[in-house]
Structure 1
Amino acid sequence: MIKLKSKQNILIKYFREGLSQRAIAREVGMDRKTVKRYIEEYESKLQEIENFNGEIDKGELIQNLVDSPKYDTSNRVKRKLTDEIEEKIKNFLEENRIKRQGGLHKQTKKIIDIHEALEAEGYNISYSTVRNAVHGLARKEKEAFIRGTYQPGCICEFDWGEVKVTISGKQRKLQMAVFTSAYGNYRLAFLFTKQKTECFQEAHALFFERVGGVFQTMVYDNMKVAVKQFVGTEKEPTEGLLKLSSYYLFQFRFCNAAKGNEKGHVEKSVEIVRRKAFAFRDTFETLEEANHYLLEVCHKLNQRTIKKDTNQTAEQLLQEENGHLLPSRPPFDAARVVHPRVDKYSTVTIDQSHYSVPDHLVGEVLKVKIYSNRILCFYQEENVAEHHRLTGSHEWSLQLEHYVKTLKKKPGALADSAALQQASKKIKNIYKAYYTSSPKDFVELMQLVKEGTSLSVIEQSIEELRKINPEHVTTDKIKILCKKNRDAPLSLPILSSQESKAIEHHAQENLKEYDTLFQTGSIGTKEGIA
């Protein structure tokens, strides 16, 4: 095919310089018939332009006149790519489509695999021909997108997005649950540690509670918390999604595989919310602080104008949608329930991490409710333990009071126990200050905690005794003061004469404080102390 410059050269030499077609062919090194054809085509199109009568586009005629020469390939016969081979290629592409729908996108045939398969069947065809055929078929099958119109309160889309932030000095990878209404583009997002069923359910409960109602239809992609499995081309919903739908009465539908455009609102929202929030700040003390910040960012985004013609914001459009939402309900109990057996360490294993329970339950089967941020353990419908949920794997959450029974038998094991190491700083300080040489008494103090006495009450009692005399900080006296605070007035404890002398030795102010502490005024005379 000659280039446009060659065509221009031919036309100039013929029409401007007056050279013959034969002379031009010799000069440009081209066949005379080719030179003749381009000259005749030019004259013919020029005549059409001059005789233009409006029946066709004059601009199109001019473009044809000056365009590069093109070969007419409309009647060219395919040499290698026969109809039979093209049909074979179509079958391979259809096989790939079915595999992708079944979640087997990593097991589809590439172009080179299709070429090898055709050669194995005895077809003599080049790789480039197969490649061009595949690309040609793909162009034929490109889909058109239909712009949707949405009714208020009808459609809400959901998706997950990954966020990397620093919590308490440690970088964490969090999962951001994002909701976007299709009608008003109202956005709301929440951070979770995992993409688990309980997090998925809690996100919906939080969203519906905040917007004050339930959207009629929720849209999801093929996420594991929503799609249990593929049955042919159909998708079977998970039990967690069915429970949500049954409680809130919303309908749901799934996007086709790899069709993010079918929930384009939330696909864009994940990127926008993540960038507007965490491109500006990514360091927090707690997950709660990060979530509070994220909600503030969403609130600012929802103050922006969405509909230019009416100057309405996303928040105003949500108010318009409220009248079309399904009725609001009390928040869904977003808990995953399992029934583990208590192991020899008096722990239950949840998602590869261990949580302690009272040691008398070793070997028993418990009911455990797993929430996004806490673990509740039940034995015969009684709540026997509660933990903050661990975010990693192979971690241990041990509460010292759960091991009181065992430590009573083995008090020497207390100092080096993992339970003591994981105890709160306040408990460890009490142990180091008063009980390092009497672990058995410390175990008795933990029994008091186990029976329901708050640590703050115990700390208050210790402080009152310490002000009088540090030697008075014993478990027995702590118990007395705690009981006094619960059941005042309290019958006065009998003190030894040696302790009485020690009290009298203190200043008058301390004596008055001690008398008040033990309610000696209720007896009437100081002689009431033996």
Structure 2
Amino acid sequence: MESAAKIRRLVLRDGRSVRSVSRETGLSRNTIRKYVSDASPPRYQRQVSPIRHKLAAFESRLLEWYELEQKRPRRERRTALQLYEQLVLEGYTGSYSPVQRFIRDLKRAKPWSGEAFIPLPFQPGDALQFDWSEEHVVLGGVAQKIKVAHFRLCHSRKPFVFAYQSEAQEMVLDAFVRALTFYGGVPRRVIIDNPKTMVTFVSRSKDRIYHPRFLALMNHYVMEPVACTPASGWEKGQVENQVQFLRRHLFTPKLVFEDLEGLNAWLHLHCDELGKRSHPEQPERTIDAVFTDDCAQLRPLGRAFDGYVEKTGRVRSTCLVQYASNRYSVPAHFAGKLVSLRAYADRIVVVAGQEIIAQHTRGFTKNTSYFEPWHYVPLLERKPGALRDGAPFANWQLPKAMLMIKDHYMDSKGGDREFVDLLMLVQDHGIEMVEAACELAVEQNTLRLPAIINLINQQHDPVITPLPHSYDYPHLTTRPQANCKRYEALYVRHEGAAL
């Protein structure tokens, strides 16, 4: 650049000839004429594209993969790094950079429109951003959609993700409790969208009315909720970018797990691994290192919020109460009564007054009844025949010894009545004691009900341990003598009292 400026001054300002300047500088006359005619800064321009020697044999394969990925949904497309890893498996021995440049050139060949944003700085412990995403996974061999809760501490960029079957309000509450526990403290505010589970009304002046249950969560942790302007995702751009990044790097291709618990354990490990990456604004430090600055400013966590959504319902005559599209059993004596259902992310708790009367694992199927057979045992006292065909007792997983006794009783006439009587003993003595008695009965081959009741009583009644030595027994100091007149004195005294 300095040589071009000097040549232009010599020719255009000082009036020197091209030949004399060429002799002085050693540059060719064509070069000098080019500098004089063009005022733009000189630059090097590659005339021929670089030859990718090791990639040349794989370019057609890579192009085929790239075109195939463009036909997939955006969330399922593989990244250049994943395509490189696949090439290595097929024999490619070069580095990742040529593959990255090849994919970049393919993308640049297509028209696109860019957007400009204003960077938003955040102080340590200031803000937490939250958003949902929908991902496709395979759980238990079944392809399905799941909802993933994304959190991101704005200063350190520390991520946290957790997967659910839906994004109902109880999932929102549970996700916040898990995220704050993961971070080990509470930031000053949280930046969210405007879903109905958190914001019930947005006025023309952009004022918000928050959902009472979500507001209870905010009040419990003393956090300020900040709802974005509708359709303005850039106001929480960090978590929006996180959704796209994790979709490409974690959920592409489809993840395969046995259940949601295994998936969440895997996601938790990757959240820890992401903390080892360099911070985008402080490249000399990792995200975990900057996270220590956040931790110093986060407020103490305190007691965890009880994140449930409550609903009142009446128990049906079938001892079932409905939540969403599923039904859950309660003890039989609550049939026809009003109860409260507390829906958590992973369980349903049924409450009558201040007493918890039933708990069930949360079901995410449709039109399914979830039974606890012990809730129906008192009804068997009047209808013992229902033990054979009743829906609550189908595939009932009783202890092994009790199942053996059940099979023995049900083979004989009236055996269902005897087994119901055995089940009724559980209400008085507990399942542990009855199970232990049944195990002893199977060992001793005494399966009759009276024998089992006797074994239960032996466990229930205290056993008096005999003294080890005879000389420890108490001894009489005066030898007793037979005297029948003592009985006559008692008789006379009794007669006198009667008169």
Q: Deviations over 1:487-524 (max 9, x none)?
A: 46359xxxxxxxxxxxxxxxxxxxxxxxxxxx9x9999
Matched, 1:362 2:322: no
C-alpha distance in 2 between matches for 1:522 and 1:282:
68
Which moves more between the two structures, 433-442 or 246-255? 433-442
Q: How many aligned residue pairs are there?
A: 359
C-alpha distance in 2 between matches for 1:280 and 1:248:
37
Matched, 1:283 2:256: yes
C-alpha distance in 2 between matches for 1:481 and 1:278:
57
Matched, 1:415 2:388: yes
User: 1:441: which partner in 2?
Assistant: 418
1:301 is aligned with what amino acid? L
Tell me: CA distance 1:371–1:252, structure 2 relative to 1, closer, same or farther (3 Å): same
C-alpha distance in 1 between matches for 2:307 and 2:393:
32
User: 1:236: which partner in 2?
Assistant: 209
SS where residue 388 of structure 2 aligns? coil
Of 220, 229, 243, 1:270 maps to 243
Tell me: CA distance 1:309–1:203, structure 2 relative to 1, closer, same or farther (3 Å): closer
Tell me: CA distance 1:175–1:443, structure 2 relative to 1, closer, same or farther (3 Å): farther
Of 188, 203, 214, 2:175 maps to 203
Tell me: CA distance 1:159–1:206, structure 2 relative to 1, closer, same or farther (3 Å): same
Of 110, 117, 131, 1:159 maps to 131
Matched, 1:216 2:203: no
* Correspondence 1:33-44 to 2 at 5 A: none
1:286 is aligned with what amino acid? D
Matched, 1:464 2:436: no
User: 2:162: which partner in 1?
Assistant: 190
Matched, 1:302 2:275: yes
C-alpha distance in 2 between matches for 1:197 and 1:279:
28
Q: CA deviation at 1:278?
A: 3.6
Tell me: CA distance 1:159–1:301, structure 2 relative to 1, closer, same or farther (3 Å): same
Q: CA deviation at 1:474?
A: 4.2
Matched, 1:373 2:350: no
Tell me: CA distance 1:371–1:477, structure 2 relative to 1, closer, same or farther (3 Å): farther
Q: CA deviation at 1:389?
A: 1.1
C-alpha distance in 2 between matches for 1:397 and 1:451:
25
* Correspondence 1:129-148 to 2 at 5 A: 145-148=117-120
5+ residue gaps, structure 2: 1-32, 42-113, 470-499
TM-score (norm 2): 0.65
Q: CA deviation at 1:280?
A: 6.3
C-alpha distance in 2 between matches for 1:473 and 1:167:
44
Q: CA deviation at 1:457?
A: 5.2
Q: CA deviation at 1:412?
A: 0.9
Tell me: CA distance 1:243–1:293, structure 2 relative to 1, closer, same or farther (3 Å): same
C-alpha distance in 2 between matches for 1:277 and 1:488:
60
Q: CA deviation at 1:431?
A: 6.7
C-alpha distance in 1 between matches for 2:467 and 2:146:
59
Contact 1:401 1:450 (C-alpha < 8 Å) held by counterparts:
no
Matched, 1:338 2:314: no
* Correspondence 1:113-128 to 2 at 5 A: none
SS where residue 305 of structure 1 aligns? coil
Tell me: CA distance 1:347–1:147, structure 2 relative to 1, closer, same or farther (3 Å): same
Tell me: CA distance 1:380–1:444, structure 2 relative to 1, closer, same or farther (3 Å): farther
Of 142, 157, 165, 1:170 maps to 142
C-alpha distance in 1 between matches for 2:241 and 2:275:
14
Tell me: CA distance 1:323–1:483, structure 2 relative to 1, closer, same or farther (3 Å): farther
SS where residue 219 of structure 1 aligns? strand
Q: CA deviation at 1:484?
A: 4.4
Q: CA deviation at 1:354?
A: 0.6
C-alpha distance in 1 between matches for 2:243 and 2:433:
47
Q: Deviations over 1:288-346 (max 9, x none)?
A: 22221111111111121214645222222221111111221111101111121111111
1:416 is aligned with what amino acid? D
C-alpha distance in 2 between matches for 1:488 and 1:433:
29
5+ residue gaps, structure 1: 1-49, 61-141, 492-518, 525-530
Q: Deviations over 1:422-481 (max 9, x none)?
A: 532647944752332422233233334455723x65444323221221xx2345544544
Tell me: CA distance 1:274–1:322, structure 2 relative to 1, closer, same or farther (3 Å): same
User: 2:447: which partner in 1?
Assistant: 473
Tell me: CA distance 1:386–1:474, structure 2 relative to 1, closer, same or farther (3 Å): farther
Of 390, 395, 402, 2:363 maps to 390
Q: CA deviation at 1:368?
A: 1.9
TM-score (norm 1): 0.61
SS where residue 314 of structure 2 aligns? coil
Tell me: CA distance 1:430–1:372, structure 2 relative to 1, closer, same or farther (3 Å): farther
2:154 is aligned with what amino acid? A
User: 1:78: which partner in 2?
Assistant: none
Matched, 1:250 2:223: yes
C-alpha distance in 2 between matches for 1:249 and 1:281:
38
SS where residue 372 of structure 1 aligns? coil
Tell me: CA distance 1:377–1:270, structure 2 relative to 1, closer, same or farther (3 Å): same
Q: Deviations over 1:189-244 (max 9, x none)?
A: 11222211111111111111121111111011122211112333433211122011
Contact 1:159 1:220 (C-alpha < 8 Å) held by counterparts:
yes
Contact 1:273 1:298 (C-alpha < 8 Å) held by counterparts:
no
SS where residue 279 of structure 2 aligns? strand
Which has the bigger relative contact order, CA under 8 A and spacing at least 6?
2
Contact 2:138 2:254 (C-alpha < 8 Å) held by counterparts:
no
SS where residue 337 of structure 1 aligns? strand
Query: Whose helix proportion is higher, 1 or 2?
Result: 1
